[in-house]
Amino acid sequence: MTVSRQQRESLVLSGGVIAIALLLTKNVLLLLLLLIAGILIGAVTFTIISAKRQKVLTVNLGQQVAARTLQLQSSMAQLEELSSLQDLLLHAISHDLRTTVMGSLMVLENVQGQAGDVIPVSRELLRRMTQSGKTQLNHLNQLLEAYSNMTEGIQLKKSCVSISTVLQEAIADLAPLLQENRITLTSPVPTDSLQVRADADKIRQVFHHLISNAVNHNPPGIEVRMEAMVEQSIFQFTITDTGIGIDSLQQKNIFELCPKPPQERQLTQISLGLCLCKQIVTAHNGQIKVSSQVGKGTEIRFTLPTDA
C-alpha cells in the first residue's frame, strides 16, 4: 500500500515521541506506557489522515460520476431529438411521395380511360403535372436541406454582399408567384448603401422564403412591404404583410421543424421556409423573430452583424 507524505509525517512524529522517551527515562514501565502512547498517537493520526483522504477521493469520484451522468443525459437527449427528427423527415418524405404518385396515377388513369390508341393530352394538363412535380421536388429538397443543416451545420461562403442586389434577384425569381396572387409589393431599399459580409446565396434564400411565405400563407391581393437599414453595425430587414395573421400559439414554434396545424396551406403541415430562414440567420450570428395579430397581418424581422 502506498504511504502518503502526511502519513509518513505522522509515523515520524510517533517515532520522535518514542525516541525522546528513550532518552529521558530509564523507568521500564513508564517507557512502555510512552511507547504504547506513541503507537496510539501514530495510529490515530494515520486513521484521521486516511479518513480525510478517503473523503476527498469520495468527493472527487462523486463529481466525476455526476459529470459523466450529465454527459450521458445530454447524449441521450441528442439521440432522442435526432430520432424524432428522422421520424418527422420520414413522414414528410413518404407523405409527399405518396401524394405525388397518387395524383399522377389519377391523371394517368383518367387519360388511359379515353378511347383510341392515340390519346390527346392538353398542354395545360402537362403544365399542371410538371408544376406539381417541381413543387414536390422543391419541398423534398428543402426537407433534406433542413435536416442536413441541423445534423451537419451550415457552411458559409462569406463576401461583401449588396442587399439591394440580392433582394432584387429574389423578387425577380418570384415575379410569376407575385403576379399570380396579385401581390402589391413595396420595397424602399436603398440601392447601394446597404452592404453586409455574408453568404450571398444563403441571404437570397432567406429573402426568397420570407416573400414566398407571405404569399403562400395568405389569400391573394395582400400588400407586402419590405424595409432594410443598418444601425450601429447591425443590419435589419423587416417584411410586413396585410394578411390573415398568426395566432400566439403558432408563433411559439413557427421557426422550428415540426408539424403545424392542418388548416395551413401546406402539403405535410411542416413549415420549412421559416425553419431554413432561422438556420441561415443563426449561422450568421443573427436573430429572427415574428410579430403578428390575427386579422391584422404579420411582421418578420431579422438582424445580422454587418461584419460577421
The predicted-structure confidence for 196-236, as pLDDT tens digits, reads as follows 999 999 999 999 999 998 998 899 999 999 998 888 889 99
Question: Is residue 17 pLDDT above 80, yes or no?
Answer: no
**Cα 265 from Cα 106, distance rounded (Å):** 22
Identity at 114, one-letter amino acid code: Q
More confident residue, 57 or 160: 160
**Cα 297 from Cα 206, distance rounded (Å):** 20
**Number of C-beta neighbours around residue 95 at 10 A:** 15
115 DSSP assignment: S
Question: Is residue 299 pLDDT above 80, yes or no?
Answer: yes
Query: In this structure, are residues 103 and 132 in contact, taking their beta carbons and an 8 Å threshold?
Result: yes
186-200, 211-225, 274-288: least confidently modelled range? 186-200
Question: Is residue 137 pLDDT above 90, yes or no?
Answer: no
